[in-house]
Amino acid sequence: MAYSEAQVIAGGLIHIPIVIGLFRHIESQIGRKSIAKPAKTPPSTKATTASAPASSKAAPSKKVHADVPVNTYRPKTPFEGKVLENYSLLKDGAIGRVNHITFSLSGGNPQLRYVEGQSIGIIPAGEDSKGKPHKLRLYSIASTRHGDNFSGDTVSLCVRQLQYEKDGQTIDGVCSTYLCNIKPGEKVKITGPVGKEMLLPEDEDANIIMLATGTGIAPMRAYLRRMFEPTERKKNNWNFKGKAWLFMGAPKTANLLYDADFEYYKKQFPDNLRYTKAISREQKNAKGGRMYIQDKVLEHADEIFSLIEDPKTHIYLCGLKGMEPGIDEAMTKAAASKGINWAELRPKLKKQDRWHVETY
């Protein structure tokens, strides 16, 4: 190639980025409106029904839940909610400490609203070992959007105090201890709400299978109140007609959370609610070991999989992270006994927004 020719080509090449840049600039000016990214929606504060597909066959996308409020309050500007009540959920002889704590959300501008299945963040008072403000911890909301007193401006949590032994010392979890000790009248920094994983479908005739261990009962308590609490039903314009089945795992009978409420709902709605308890340190599984909810899942494999065949059935799993492999193993065995491959079915259920997991 002649020198002059090469120069011309090189010169041309040098101009390519300039031409591309110019083209992009023109495109961005002319086409801004038509190709602009969708504007960021400001955090909605309107709590509406967590929607599900009109047809149970259609997989509801995240868009379906677009009107569910998120991040109304962020860590830099949290809402300060007053503690209304804080009481133990445990009976004599129970292990550990688990409290039900309610905060007032009144006076918020904007008002913090949420729907069943979401979580809020709590920023404990004080500083960490480096002298920095504590980071927030998430807690599943245990109340319905109407709150325990149905006024629509409270939120409740179900908190287990974290305690463990290290080098011969008992270590108390920072935020869970702060919450379990907090007194009515004190103010707490609250963020959120967050989370769209655990929302209920809108269908009144959906079937809801709930697998909870310990404080994993929090979102389930909100669902069950929404479904069966008389005043809540009057308020929410949502008359649950499907089948709800709660599997609850607790170490002792005295550790069962909200048990009397669930028993009452079961009595009132015997055709709509089943309640199966796995009391790990009082009952034995088929192998003689501790009874976990996955053992109960196996016991009821046939009925569970008959329900799953119905496209209106949703499964919610909440609580200890450690239960996930056990549940997976039980579902694999249970599915196999019906000639179903769980490893193939689970992602399908997930895609259809019918398999919901929140473990920690």
| Residues near ligand FAD (CB under 6 A) | 119, 137-140, 158-160, 162, 164, 166, 173-177, 215, 218, 358, 360
| H-state helical runs in the chain | 3-30, 32-35, 174-181, 217-228, 230-236, 259-268, 293-299, 301-309, 323-336, 342-351
In angstroms, what is the minimal distance from the CB of 223 to ligand A2P?
19
- Which residue among 292, 316, 342, 355 contacts ligand A2P (CB under 6 A)? 292
Q: Cα angle at 313 between 311 and 319, to 5 degrees?
A: 145
In angstroms, what is the minimal distance from the CB of 58 to ligand FAD?
27
Closer CB to ligand FAD, 159 or 208, in the complex = 159
| Residue of 56, 104, 119, 140 marked catalytic | 140
Select from 2-10, 13-21, 285-293, 301-309 the region that touches ligand A2P (CB under 6 A). Answer: 285-293
| Residue of 114, 139, 178, 292 marked catalytic | 139
Is 158 catalytic? The answer is no
Concatenate the DSSP letters of all residues of 88-135 into one string: E-PPTT-SS-EEEEEEE-TT-SS-----TT-EEEEE-SSB-TTSPBPP
User: Which residue, among 336, 329, 282, has the nearest Cα to 305 in the 3D structure?
Assistant: 336
State the sign of the Cα–Cα–Cα–Cα dihedral 273, 297, 317, 143.
Answer: positive
* 323 interface partner picked from ligand A2P, ligand FAD, none, CB below 5 to 8 A per type: ligand A2P
- Which residue among 177, 261, 326, 338 contacts ligand A2P (CB under 6 A)? 326
Residue 20: other Cβ atoms inside 10 A: 10
- Which residue among 119, 140, 280, 313 contacts ligand A2P (CB under 6 A)? 280
- Which residues, numbered 128-187, are part of the site for ligand A2P (CB under 6 A)? 160
Is 360 catalytic? The answer is yes
User: Which residue, among 197, 233, 217, has the nearest Cα to 314 in the 3D structure?
Assistant: 197
Quote the CA–CA distance of 140 and 192 in Å, as a whole number: 11
In angstroms, what is the minimal distance from the CB of 198 to ligand FAD?
9
**Chain position carrying tokens 């308020």:** 235
* 176 interface partner picked from ligand A2P, ligand FAD, none, CB below 5 to 8 A per type: ligand FAD
| Residue of 88, 204, 264, 360 marked catalytic | 360
Is 73 catalytic? The answer is no
Is 358 catalytic? The answer is yes
Q: Could you give the dihedral angle defined by the CA atoms of residues 334, 340, 346 and 352, in that order, rounded to the nearest 10 degrees? A: -120
Is 87 catalytic? The answer is no
In angstroms, what is the minimal distance from the CB of 155 to ligand A2P?
21
Q: On the CB side of 284, how many CA atoms lie within 13 Å of its CA?
A: 4
**Chain position carrying tokens 């090469």:** 6
* 292 interface partner picked from ligand FAD, ligand A2P, none, CB below 5 to 8 A per type: ligand A2P
CA distances (Å), origin 119, targets 42, 114, 184: 19, 8, 21
Closer CB to ligand FAD, 175 or 349, in the complex = 175
- 127: tokens are 């500083």
Interface with ligand A2P by CB under 6 A: which residues?
160, 213-214, 249-251, 255, 280-281, 290, 292-294, 320, 322-323, 326
